[in-house]
Structure 1
Amino acid sequence: MAIEAEKSAWGRSWSQTRNLVPHPDQAADAIRRQCVRLAGKAGQAIPVDPSHPVALRPDTAYLLSARIRSDNGATVRVELGGKSAVLDADRSWKTVSLRFVTGPNDRWLERIRLVLGSEGEALIESVSLREDRPHSAELLWEADPNRAMPGTYNLLDAAMLDRLVEAAEREGIYLQLCVITRDLYMKHLKDPQSDAYKRAVEHAKNLMRYCVARWGYSTHVAAWEYFNEIDPGLPTDAFYQQVGEFVASIDPFARCRTTSTWHPSARDCKHPAIDIGQVHHYLRPALGESGYDESAAVAHWARFLREHGARKPGLIAEFGLADDKWGLSPLMKEDERLDHFHNALWASAMSGTAGTALFWWWEQLDRQDGYQHYKPLAAFMASEPLGIEPVSPIQPSASAPRFRAMGLRGTGRVLLWLFDTDTNWHRSLVEKKPPERATDVEIRLTGLTAGKWKLQWWDTRSGKPFAERTISVSGHETVLTAPVFERDLAAKLTYIADAN
């Protein structure tokens, strides 16, 4: 789904066709025009493949047409389902047409192909499908390679986003909408003084105006994200400043503005018109030992966000196990319990980021029923005044290097997560090391207010407390001895009364 993107009947935004070539009739000083090139031996074909199915009306006459020319007299056949029309092309543009009438149950356009009937090369333009009556609408608008890009919005995709926003409202979900297609703009953002850069800024403003007007009504649209993984080396400061000021002037809810890059960008995190800092990180074999522990990776990037985006919310907005080509790691399927996912959720919740790490492999999480891991963490956090009272991330020391303690401290409250790093994803999935029961693990906290505190130990799999007692704090350091556990556990400390 992309509101403004170079997807068409000839390719998609992520996989552009090589069949589009400069139009032979355009003047040297004219706006660049393109047409479709079909070349090869007899039988070579190009599909006309819009990004959405094209709806038809039953019992209705339609006219499919195209203009074709060939310098070597190639024959071109237009195929639609079991019907076809043939044109012997020459050096002048000629029109081939195929008229058909839909049946009483025909509601969708069948597959269209352009096929060479003889070896050679042909150029094709003006591929069109309309009802066979005056002033009918163009149904193959995505087959026009010369429509304004950027500047043309896909209204079917916009309607899909309408439904998505409505579903978010029903289900209590808040969305960060990424709206600008990176590859459409990135090539124009190389020189802030250039006309291309200035046009890109204006096109982005127009698109953001459309988005605010169409979806800005919903309080379940929480943030606008400009790009997904744009080049961090581009001089985008002026773009974010100008577009950000414009969005701030038209958005009645003053939503947060954010963006992302394909490598972490400290500059973007610091930018005054970027309200949420983001990083994307994948645990890949190429990282070696630095990528073996999901909790350490989360802690590292949370510190990066705090350092470069001080006093801003930060998100690890993409995360997960990947191969060295950035594809889904086969190890994810082997992690039947999704322990690496569970660990990353708890580590990010305790690291001070604005939300849990957002996993890219949502389809695989769905297949493995990853949703069950959210509920225990949500139960643990349910009574916490996050976003109301300030909290700071802490990393208490543990009694052995094998254990990592992470947590959040607020006024009279401390949240803790204790993780056995010997159960990280690499130890579990690659080294096949079984988990061991951990006993007599101590966590050392400093700076707690003297007095009585309620201590609860929580099971991170069930999302329920299993032990509770009152402790007294009197000195600079407080030592907690964890119950026997396997893999991880969590704790809450709540201040009850002063020492007197």
Structure 2
Amino acid sequence: MSYKRLYFIFFNFGVFLIISIGVYAQEATESPDLPQVPVVGPSQVGLYQLAEYQLQIDNTLYANPFDIDDIRVEAVFERPDGEQVIIPGFWMQLYDENLILRREASWFIRMTPSQTGTWQGAIDVYDDGQIIARTTLSLDVTQTDLHGFIRVGSNQKYFSFDDGTAFFPIGHNLNWSWNGAGGYLAYENWLDDLQANHANFARIVIDVPWFIGLEWRPPIGDYRTAQEQAARLDRILEMAEERGIYLQLVILWHQGLRFYNPPPVTLPPEIALPDMSADWDNNPYNIANGGILESPEQFFENPQARQLFARRLRYIIARWGYSPHILAWELSDALDRTANFTPEIAALWVTEQAEVIHSSDAHGHLLTLTTNRYIDGVTNHPGLDFLTMSYHPRQFATGDYMGAFMNTIEEWQQPDRPLIVGSHSLSPWIPPLSEDPSGIHFQNALWGAVFAGTAGGAMSDWWDTYILPLNLSHAYIPLSDFVDDIDWSMMQFVPVEAQLIPLSDHTGTVPVDVITLWDVDAGIGIAWLHHRDDTWLYFSQNGRPSLITLRYQLASLPAGNYSVELWNPTDGVVLGQELAVVGDDGVLTFDLLPMNRQLALRFFRQDNP
């Protein structure tokens, strides 16, 4: 039974009062009269809005504020429906809005209520496993028009918000910034660009030594030296919330657990990048750097390393898990590219860490991970809510980039979970500024992923050195408009065969691929037509392919009237709209305009008069 002295800070009538309370830890847990934790926080918030509570705890009570075996702070709330919710607390060094260090550090609880009504709660402080202080509180939650957190939709193929509104992610990677790019303030411009072009998604790595990374400065398991980096993510998340952008956060950067290999190409001098050579030799877990591991693969096997990573997960969830604008936690960006990767060990590690996340995250964010290739039991681990695919040919892709891309998506598809293309590019080493300055592969992959059955547009890499300099983000506007007005989370789309009949003088095989997805019960269909010569390689050698005029024909539809819209995917213009009548033969026919790139169609069955 250990004696503890607590120092609580109260603010009253403009004066801070410091009160010293001596207690025996064991006796405190048994006594109904526990000392109160002084808490500053709201008594009322709106539905899906942040309720943040700040509290002060004597720093002599703990050696490491991130070690829950040393000290633990958590809030236990009872929702209006009676269900209990446990929210972990966290320690944070305070910075102002310009990331200028302030003197004080403090403890916080961040919670976002998911029900209207009155929430009853208590904030408990544990020292050495014993409750030593408690404060009760009440929170009234009022109605808002916010949608809530993102979940897997009822059809298990797409996403939706808590209120049932469909969410269709469109955007690209914003992996990191660095001083040369403007630091965290660069995200203002990058997120502004996404918002202006009707995108809603970005993917960020929060484990790199030059920007955001909790454990790239020793000692491992203690994040006090990483508080400025953590504050960067605070600001970026606020920026994303203000602009309606939803983030997928990569927690483990694979290169920290392998040995760096320089790219086999020379980057042009005008391409500015951070020093990305950090690897296992720089990792604080490395015993050569004062860590606990002799080799990178031990990160997944060593019990202490696994516990330390679980500690990092809990801190990430406690600090940022309040936000509905986090689409998902991504365990790793390329788990199978870590050194001496073993699928069986990786699967056990994913099982363990997925349980930590699901048990710690009361807000229930989705969980995913990325592997470089599909690995059964890891890529599709049952603890994951959806799959994230990476597609990076090891050299500049040939004209069949789209064929291989679409085939890879088909190999990764799951019957019971969504799939997104989380990253792709013509090359993993260099942005295709000279190879594809028109963004042909970017545009094709963006739309192709949708019609291959993924849950969003394909998310490209090279945001700062390719997409933004060439103003390619405008491609998101047509896709955003096209997917609007479709309740994706309810759709039961299946591929159906359509015929393309040449109407112009044409001999030989029709050089156009068509993919049609249809939900017969909903009476909704979409189709994408893509000219096979609409590739970056063909264009660089020959220019645009010749125009061809086709008739689109689809059979086996229920009789009725169908509104048919003809879209240009490259600029979002609706080229035509008409009412098509399907008779008892079940055949829908629609004559298309001449094309040499892409066309898209939307079909909506109309109520019979």
TM-score normalised by structure 1 residue count: 0.63
Q: Report what 1:320 is aligned to.
A: 425
- Kindly provide the amino acid, as one letter, of the partner of residue 159 in structure 1: A
- Per-residue CA deviations over 1:339-361 (Å, capped at 9, x if unaligned) read 22111111112221111111111
1:486 is paired with a residue of what secondary structure?
Answer: coil
RMSD: 2.9
1:267 is paired with a residue of what secondary structure?
Answer: coil
CA–CA distance in structure 1, aligned partners of residues 101 and 297 of structure 2: 41
Q: Does residue 1:365 correspond to 2:467, yes or no? A: yes
Q: Report what 2:407 is aligned to.
A: 300
- Kindly provide the amino acid, as one letter, of the partner of residue 445 in structure 1: L
The 1:249/1:446 distance shift into structure 2, 3 A limit, reads farther
CA–CA distance in structure 2, aligned partners of residues 282 and 398 of structure 1: 32
Q: Report what 2:246 is aligned to.
A: 174
Give 1:305 shift. Answer: 2.1
CA–CA distance in structure 1, aligned partners of residues 585 and 347 of structure 2: 49
Aligned residues: 347
Which of 577, 580, 584 is equivalent to 1:468?
577
Q: Report what 1:209 is aligned to.
A: 314
Paired residues for 1:29-428 under 5 Å: 147-149=218-220, 151-152=222-223, 154-184=226-256, 187-189=295-297, 194=301, 196=302, 198-231=303-336, 233-234=341-342, 235-283=345-393, 285=395, 291-306=398-413, 309-322=414-427, 326-330=428-432, 332-363=433-464, 364-394=466-496, 396-399=498-501, 400-410=509-519, 411-428=522-539
Give 1:190 shift. Answer: 5.8
CA–CA distance in structure 2, aligned partners of residues 397 and 285 of structure 1: 35
- Per-residue CA deviations over 1:244-277 (Å, capped at 9, x if unaligned) read 1121111122111111123333432321101121
The 1:423/1:163 distance shift into structure 2, 3 A limit, reads same
1:472 is paired with a residue of what secondary structure?
Answer: strand
The 1:313/1:210 distance shift into structure 2, 3 A limit, reads same
Contact 1:189 1:236 in 2 (8 A): no
- Kindly provide the amino acid, as one letter, of the partner of residue 517 in structure 2: L
Q: Report what 1:65 is aligned to.
A: none
CA–CA distance in structure 2, aligned partners of residues 146 and 336 of structure 1: 39
2:370 is paired with a residue of what secondary structure?
Answer: coil
CA–CA distance in structure 1, aligned partners of residues 405 and 499 of structure 2: 17
Give 1:386 shift. Answer: 1.4
TM-score normalised by structure 2 residue count: 0.53
CA–CA distance in structure 1, aligned partners of residues 435 and 447 of structure 2: 21
Which of 456, 470, 477 is equivalent to 2:565?
456
The 1:422/1:155 distance shift into structure 2, 3 A limit, reads same
- Kindly provide the amino acid, as one letter, of the partner of residue 391 in structure 1: F
1:343 is paired with a residue of what secondary structure?
Answer: helix
- Kindly provide the amino acid, as one letter, of the partner of residue 472 in structure 1: V
CA–CA distance in structure 2, aligned partners of residues 278 and 267 of structure 1: 14
Contact 2:567 2:601 in 1 (8 A): yes
Q: Structure 2: any 5+ residue segments left out of the alignment?
A: 1-98, 103-212, 259-294, 502-508
Q: Report what 1:34 is aligned to.
A: none
CA–CA distance in structure 2, aligned partners of residues 367 and 191 of structure 1: 38
- Kindly provide the amino acid, as one letter, of the partner of residue 242 in structure 1: E
CA–CA distance in structure 1, aligned partners of residues 296 and 438 of structure 2: 45
Give 1:397 shift. Answer: 4.6
Contact 1:344 1:357 in 2 (8 A): yes
Which of structures 1 and 2 has the larger relative contact order (alpha carbons within 8 angstroms, sep 6+)?
A: 2
- Kindly provide the amino acid, as one letter, of the partner of residue 373 in structure 1: A
Give 1:224 shift. Answer: 0.2
Q: Report what 1:495 is aligned to.
A: 605
2:236 is paired with a residue of what secondary structure?
Answer: helix
Contact 1:416 1:490 in 2 (8 A): yes
Give 1:470 shift. Answer: 1.4
Q: Structure 1: any 5+ residue segments left out of the alignment?
A: 1-53, 58-141
The 1:422/1:185 distance shift into structure 2, 3 A limit, reads closer
Larger Rg: 1
CA–CA distance in structure 1, aligned partners of residues 423 and 497 of structure 2: 23
- Per-residue CA deviations over 1:27-86 (Å, capped at 9, x if unaligned) read xxxxxxxxxxxxxxxxxxxxxxxxxxx9999xxxxxxxxxxxxxxxxxxxxxxxxxxxxx
